[in-house]
């Protein structure tokens, strides 16, 4: 028995999902415009520093370029340091296991957000993306001028697509998963130092 | 696995066997709700942000096919592999096949309610793949062989003594240790080994951006940035409703999410993934699993606005006093109770009744889902289409008759008043649930008497 062969097109998941949606012919809803909104005070820098303090961040402000190198050299006495900032001189290549033993990673921040203390870090400027979380302690170097008010303003500068991986970091990693008790140092850094270069 | 109760009353009853724990649970969640209030009151434009967020979601849902395609195209241009799954089974098979292709044996997973919804872990375990949940709360419930009882605070139902016991058994911590810092540090060391050994990382997705073809995952612990950045393969699993059109919309949602969830201005890590690192692979699985069906329901479409902040749970008087495990669905609380009936009306028929309809859930929702209205609408559908609680159906029918008949109503309210003044044993007995642990008010007159007196 040879019948005529029917071509049965079995819809792929993609076709099925898209046709389910298309068949609904939902009426179009307008996309709203998003304002930038005003800041919460007249002084965004003070606000930023206060927010960092409430997040438990150690802040160092310095006009002296050599101060950073000196600080990192001091911290290097505590344990292994890595930094993609070549001037600091801690740029040996890294295996995953070596990264896990890092006491301190020093990375560059691109932009600080006053309303929430978050600092944008472009992951691809780092040798290894995991440097944002893996060291026991983290230091972010941020130029004083690069502070904006809020997230709306931040996204007018930040282009997450340009760096394949980027992250807003606000404070040391933390958890409150055991009876709502706040503990600093979950999986990422146990402490965060922000070095603000004036 | 934890006990799956047949309905919400059964689960709530079990939870309420220990009144002290109920009170502790209630207070712990109310504390989070108060932190949320404080954080939101600090933002003058809060209500405007909620409205904008709701409009962005409504717009996106009205063009979901277009945005999904745009996302796929842009993500592929970024070097991300994009997969589509129409249901849980397809999702699990896709993830498994990616892992098998790479001979993966050890997976680290960050929090993903979607993979819970699809029961991914048991599926991978059956194929000899070890999955370690790395969010501390999720690790606790995984070691306890339970499910998360809350979407943001998975182990909110566990006392530190219980966590100490679990960690003593599994992580060799000291017996009797209950200090949260000590226990958290022990988990940190234990999970560091897992991160370093992992052949692949699975993460959830908070927001996927159509115009840029990337996605954002939010954590406080940094487990996403450890897992996804160390492992050679990163698989991100997302429901199709997680799409937003533009990068600038992240500003709106990131301002709303953490404030609503825990009262923080933003999570510690808001991680944006757009391209895999050289030599590594990044996959994204777009999952329907009932979402296009929910999209087709005019009354319930808005439930797809949800950004999984958990604010409706923290504020809900029923959730706080019945615990997340009393719900029959992966996502507990008010939002779970409007998402689940659409998936299985019969199985989840008790959930829309697990509410006082006080409306607090709708008030705190950062994307303005009319949760309590939807709960009420599901109730009507359930009463019409299922055989849920015939006794309730009968009593409602009788109440309807009584209220539609003034003579009957007058008579009943008189009898009721006399009843409340009568011997206590008639009211405060196990048969009358309204009289358990509270004093009922005793009216001095019927409404009818009061009305006549004041309107003559």
Q: Give the C-alpha separation, B150 to B116, whole Å.
A: 12
Q: What DSSP string describes A9-73?
A: -PPPHHHHHHHHHHHH-PPP-PPPP------SSS-HHHHHHHHHHHTT-EEEEES-HHHHHHHHH
Q: How far is CA A95 from CA A98, A128, B2, B54, in A?
A: 5, 9, 40, 45
Report the distance separating Cα B258 and Cα B267, nearest Å: 6
The distance of B253 to chain A (nearest Cα, Å) reads 10
> Do the chains contact at B155 and A155, CB–CB below 8 Å?
no
Beta bridge partners of B236: B203, B284
Domain A39-197 indexed as CATH 3.40.50.10420: yes
- A41 contact B CB<8A: no
Domain-by-domain residue ranges, chain A? Answer: 39-197
Nearest to B370 by CA among B309, B302, B298: B302
The reply to whether A2 touches chain B by the CB within 8 Å rule is: no
CB contact under 8 A, A160 and B212: yes
The confidence score (pLDDT) of residue A6 equals 59
Pick from A14, A37, A160: CB nearest B272? A160
In sequence order, which residues have a C-beta less than 8 Å from that of residue A158 and are 6 or more positions away? A110, A111, A120, A166
B268–A170 CB contact, under 8 Å:
yes
Q: What is the pLDDT of residues B161-187, one digit of tens each?
A: 999 999 999 999 999 999 999 999 999
Contact B159 A179 (CB under 8 A): yes
ipTM comes to: 0.95
- What residue of A is the nearest CA neighbor of B64? A21
Flag whether pLDDT at B259 surpasses 70. yes
Written as six digits, the tokens of A115 are: 């309303």
Tell me what pLDDT residue A93 has.
Answer: 64
Tell me how close the Cα of B340 comes to any Cα of chain A, in angstroms: 20
What percentage of chain A has pLDDT greater than the value 70?
94
Which structure tokens are listed for B293?
Answer: 């069906």
pLDDT at B454 over 70: yes
Q: How far is B184 from chain A (nearest CA, A)?
A: 7
Question: What is the structure's pLDDT at A8?
Answer: 67
Q: Could you give the CA distance from residue A154 to residue B266 in angstroms, rounded to a whole number?
A: 13
Is residue B325 within 8 A of residue B15, CB to CB? The reply is yes
Residues 59-88, chain A, touching B (beta carbon < 8 A): none
Query: With bands split at pLDDT 50, 70 and 90, how would you rate the model's confidence at B1?
Result: very low
Instruction: Supply the DSSP symbol for A5.
Output: P
Say what the pLDDT of residue B94 is. 98
Mutation for testing the B interface, residue in A118, A119, A158, A179 having most B CBs under 10 Å: A179
Q: Of the spans A89-98, B42-51, B418-427, which averages the highest pLDDT? A: B42-51
As a whole number of angstroms, the distance between CA B156 and CA B135 comes to 13
Q: Do A177 and B135 touch (CB under 8 A)?
A: yes
pLDDT band at A5, cuts 50/70/90? Answer: low
Q: What percent of chain B has pLDDT over 70?
A: 99
Cβ separation of A183 and B212 shorter than 8 Å?
no
- Give the least confident one: A147-151, B134-138, B298-302, B412-416: B412-416
Q: Which SS3 state, helix, strand or coil, does residue A137 take?
A: strand
Residue A87 has pLDDT above 80, yes or no: yes
A134 touches chain B (CB under 8 A): yes
State the pLDDT at residue A4: 56
Mean of the per-residue pLDDT values of chain B: 95
Residue A189 or A95, more confident: A189
Q: Which domains does chain B have, with CATH numbers?
A: 8-42+299-388 (1.10.1060), 43-289 (3.40.50.10420), 401-454 (no CATH)
Contacts of B184 in chain A (CB under 8 A): 175, 177-178, 183, 185-186
pLDDT above 50: residue A50: yes
Evaluate if residue B110 carries a pLDDT over 80.
yes
Residue A96 above 80 pLDDT?
no
- Contact predicate B88/B237, CB 8 Å: no
CB pairs under 8 A between A and B: 248
The per-residue pLDDT for A197 is 95
Say whether B202 sits in a helix, a strand or coil.
strand
pLDDT on residue B432: 79
Q: Give the residue-averaged pLDDT of A54-63.
A: 96
Task: Choose among A17, A37, A124: nearest Cβ to B288.
Answer: A17
Tens-place pLDDT, residues A136-191: 999 999 999 999 999 999 999 999 999 899 999 999 999 999 999 999 999 999 99
Nearest to B188 among A37, A165, A187 (CB): A187
The strand pairing partners of B272, in sequence order, are A166, B216
Distance from CA of B222 to the nearest CA of A (A): 5
Q: What percent of chain B has pLDDT over 90?
A: 84
Q: Compute the distance between CA of residue B171 and CA of residue B144 in angstroms, rounded to an integer.
A: 13
Q: Do residue B188 and residue A186 have CB atoms under 8 angstroms apart? A: yes
Give mean pLDDT, residues B321-344.
Answer: 97
Q: Between chains, do B31 and A180 touch, taking CB under 8 Å as contact?
A: yes
Q: Averaged over B209-221, what is the pLDDT?
A: 98
Closest CB to B56 among A28, A31, A171:
A31
CA distance B220 to chain A (A): 5
Q: Which residues of A touch B296 (CB under 8 A)?
A: 20, 24
- Predicted local confidence at residue A127, as pLDDT: 87
Please state the pTM of the whole predicted model. 0.94
């Amino acid at each position: 028995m040879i019948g005529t062969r029917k071509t049965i097109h079995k819809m792929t998941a993609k076709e099925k999902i898209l046709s389910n949606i298309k068949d609904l012919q939902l009426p179009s809803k307008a996309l709203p415009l998003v304002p930038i909104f005003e800041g919460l005070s007249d002084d965004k820098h003070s606000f930023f520093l206060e927010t960092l303090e409430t997040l438990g961040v150690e802040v160092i402000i310095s006009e002296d370029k050599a101060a950073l190198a000196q600080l990192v050299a001091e911290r290097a006495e505590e344990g292994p340091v890595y930094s993609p900032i070549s001037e600091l001189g801690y740029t040996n290549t890294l295996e995953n296991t070596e990264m896990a033993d890092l006491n301190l990673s020093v990375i560059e921040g691109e932009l600080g957000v006053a309303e929430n203390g978050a600092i944008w870090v472009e992951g691809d400027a780092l040798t290894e993306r995991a440097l944002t979380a893996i060291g026991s302690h983290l230091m972010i170097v941020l130029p004083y001028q690069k502070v904006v008010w809020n997230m709306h303003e931040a996204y007018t500068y930040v282009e997450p697509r340009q760096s394949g991986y980027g992250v807003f970091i606000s404070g040391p990693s933390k958890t409150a998963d055991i009876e709502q008790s706040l503990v600093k140092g979950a999986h990422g850094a146990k402490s965060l130092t922000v070095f603000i270069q004036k | 696995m934890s006990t799956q109760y047949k309905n919400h009353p059964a689960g709530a009853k079990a939870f309420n066997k220990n009144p002290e724990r109920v009170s502790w649970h209630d207070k712990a969640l109310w504390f989070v709700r108060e932190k949320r209030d404080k954080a939101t009151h600090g933002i003058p434009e809060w209500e405007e942000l909620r409205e904008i967020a709701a409009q962005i979601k409504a717009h996106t849902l009205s063009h979901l096919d277009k945005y999904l395609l745009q996302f796929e195209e842009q993500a592929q241009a970024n070097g991300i592999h994009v997969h589509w799954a129409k249901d849980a089974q397809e999702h699990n098979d896709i993830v498994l096949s990616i892992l098998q292709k790479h001979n993966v044996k050890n997976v680290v997973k960050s929090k993903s309610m979607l993979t819970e919804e699809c029961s991914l872990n048991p599926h991978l375990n059956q194929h000899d793949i070890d999955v370690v949940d790395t969010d501390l709360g999720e690790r606790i419930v995984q070691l306890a062989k339970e499910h998360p009882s809350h979407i943001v605070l998975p182990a909110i139902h566990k006392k530190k003594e219980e966590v100490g016991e679990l960690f003593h058994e599994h992580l060799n911590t000291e017996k009797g240790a209950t200090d949260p810092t000590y226990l958290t540090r022990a988990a940190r060391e234990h999970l560091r080994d897992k991160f370093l050994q992992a052949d692949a990382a699975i993460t959830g997705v908070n927001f996927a951006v159509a115009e840029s073809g990337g996605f954002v995952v939010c954590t406080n612990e940094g487990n996403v940035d450890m897992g996804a950045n160390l492992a050679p393969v990163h698989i991100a699993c997302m429901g199709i409703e997680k799409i937003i059109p533009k990068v600038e919309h992240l500003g709106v949602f990131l301002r709303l999410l953490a404030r609503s969830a825990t009262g923080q201005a933003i999570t510690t890590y808001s991680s944006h993934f757009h391209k895999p690192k050289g030599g590594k692979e990044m996959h994204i699985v777009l999952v329907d699993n009932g979402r296009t069906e929910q999209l087709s329901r005019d009354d319930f479409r808005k439930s797809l606005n949800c950004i999984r902040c958990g604010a409706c749970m923290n504020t809900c008087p029923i959730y706080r006093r019945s615990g997340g495990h009393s719900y029959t669905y992966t996502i507990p609380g008010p939002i779970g109770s409007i998402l689940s009936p659409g998936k299985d009306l019969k199985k989840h028929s008790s959930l829309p009744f697990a509410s006082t309809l006080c409306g607090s859930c709708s008030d705190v929702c950062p994307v303005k889902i009319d949760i309590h209205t939807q709960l009420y609408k599901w109730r009507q559908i359930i009463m019409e289409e299922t055989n849920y609680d015939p006794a309730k159906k009968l009593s409602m029918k009788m109440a309807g008759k009584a209220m539609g008949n003034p003579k009957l109503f007058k008579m009943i309210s008189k009898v009721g008043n006399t009843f409340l003044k009568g011997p206590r044993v008639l009211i405060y007995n196990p048969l009358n649930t309204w009289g358990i642990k509270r004093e009922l008010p005793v009216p001095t007159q019927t409404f009818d008497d009061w009305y006549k007196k004041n309107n003559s």
